Structure formats: C-alpha cells, structure tokens
Chains A and B, each alone.
Chain A
Amino acid sequence: GAGVSQTPSNKVTEKGKYVELRCDPISGHTALYWYRQSLGQGPEFLIYFQGTGAADDSGLPNDRFFAVRPEGSVSTLKIQRTERGDSAMYLCASSLSLGVTGTGELFFGEGSRLTVL
C-alpha cells in the first residue's frame, strides 16, 4: 500500500527480552518520526530522522531505546531489556521535511502495540 506500514501490529514479550519494531515509511518521505502513546495520552515524541541520521533523539527515555534508519527509508526501533513500563503503542510517522514543505502533516502508521508481561 501507499501508507506507512508498521510491523508487528502486536507484540507480547516478557520482561527483560529484546524487541524490534519496524517502520516502512511512504516512499520519498525524508523525515521519519517515532512516538510512543500510552492509554489516554497523546503521542510522546521519541526520535526524529532526517534521511539516515537521527536529527533529534531527545525523546528516547533511556539507553535501552535505540533507533536506526540505515538507508534513509525503513527504520527499526530497538528496545533492550524490556520493562513493564515500556508497554504502549509505538507509532511511526513520515513526511516530507518540515523545513522544506512548511507543513506539519505527518502520515502515521497504525502502530505497533507492545505488551511487556
């Protein structure tokens, strides 16, 4: 499809395990964002890529969280030693560069729901 694709849609894991969440953005979108959304809350910014580089990773909560985008397209969010508090919906969004288009229209995927038991 033409939209942002996230896999898996649901992931259940045990505390302490390692998890990878994948995001396939819209073709041609240079900007890619990861957000985390807990129940009843707004999306919380984690990290933003412009091309292959992480332009802003100030939202990553700690060093257990890491994200890559090696070829400037697909991105993977990696969580080490998962904790129960990591349980949330992880949303990915892509766009043309805000600085280029002047628009904040982000195109979101349907998210990956992570449950840590």
Chain B
Amino acid sequence: GESVGLHLPTLSVQEGDNSIINCAYSNSASDYFIWYKQESGKGPQFIIDIRSNMDKRQGQRVTVLLNKTVKHLSLQIAATQPGDSAVYFCAENRQGDDKIIFGKGTRLHILP
C-alpha cells in the first residue's frame, strides 16, 4: 500500500485542544506567506495568508503568526476537530516573483 507522508513530522493533538504547527523559512526576500491543508488523495487547499507587514492574522478557528526576526511562521487551530486531520504546508512568495514555493509539511493527527 501507499505510505503517504511516511517521513513527515507528525503532530498528535487531542480532539478539542488547540494545535500549533510551525514553519521556518530562509529567504529574507519572502514577503507573503500562505498556509495550505492537504487531505489524503486531494490537492492542497488554501487556509489563510499573511503579508510581511503584519505579524498576526485571524480567520475562522485559525490564526497565523509571523515572526520576521527569526523567519518563523505558525498556524494555530483552535478546538481541533477530526476534520482537521491532514498535512499542513506553509508556502511563500518572494518579492517580484509570482510563483509560490511550498515548504515541508506537518501531518496533524487527531486523537479521540
């Protein structure tokens, strides 16, 4: 069978708890960041984005935090639900460039 995400870091969270998924980026020229969610057998799906002139942005049950000093991005999911089980990717866009570059993912596993 297929072992999707065998080598991905995994975060296991109790249902109802908050999840925090972290991402580090290396390019100082990146000024726009996006979080995507990928469920098994599907393409990635946009969750939330943030520009470098902000350090926090909130959506429905999700918050993205950006720390430009240490080039760190995090995604917080409140009251994690079974439907949040997926692989989460941070992605970046660099100044003057229209392509979007994906980072390594994190698998979120929800414990009952």
**A interface with B by C-beta (< 8 Å):** 4, 31, 33, 35, 39-45, 48, 50, 55-56, 58-59, 91, 93, 97-99, 103-111
Contact partner of A39 (CB less than 8 A), chosen from B3, B89, B93, is: B3
Set B45, B97, B104: member contacting A108, Cβ < 8 A: B45
Q: Is the CB of B93 within 8 A of A91?
A: no
- 8 Å CB contact of B6 from A33, A40, A91, A105: A40
Residues of A within 8 A of B99 (CB): 33, 45, 48, 56, 58-59
Q: Which residue of B lies closest to A3 (CB)?
A: B43
A48 touches B98 (CB 8 A): yes
- Asked if A43 and B4 make an inter-chain contact with CB atoms under 8 angstroms apart, the answer reads no
Query: Could you give 20 example pairs across A and B, Cβ below 8 Å?
Result: A4-B43, A40-B4, A40-B7, A41-B104, A42-B102, A42-B105, A44-B102, A45-B100, A48-B98, A48-B99, A59-B99, A91-B43, A104-B32, A104-B100, A105-B34, A105-B46, A108-B43, A109-B43, A110-B42, A111-B43
Number of residue pairs across A and B with beta carbons under 8 Å?
73
* Cβ-based interface call for B83 (8 A): no
Query: What bracket does the count of chain B residues touching chain A fall in?
Result: 20 to 34
Q: List B contacts of A55 (CB < 8 A).
A: 98
Residue contact A98 to B3, C-beta cutoff 8 Å: no
Which B residues lie at the A interface, using CB under 8 A? 2-8, 32, 34, 41-46, 49, 89, 91, 93, 97-105
State whether B98 touches A106 (Cβ < 8 A): no
A40 and B8 contact, CB distance less than 8 A: yes
Q: Which residue of B lies closest to A92 (CB)?
A: B43
Q: How far is A42 from B5 in the complex, measured between Cα atoms in Å? A: 10
Interface centre among B4, B42, B43, B44 (most CB of A within 10 A): B43
Inter-chain contacts of B6 with A (CB < 8 A): 39-40
Least Cβ–Cβ distance between B87 and chain A, in angstroms: 9
Chain B residues closer than 8 Å to A41, beta-carbon distance: 104-105
**A98 x B43 contact (CB < 8 A):** no
Which of B32, B49, B89 contacts A42, CB < 8 Å? Answer: B89
Distance A59 CA – B97 CA, assembled complex (angstroms): 13
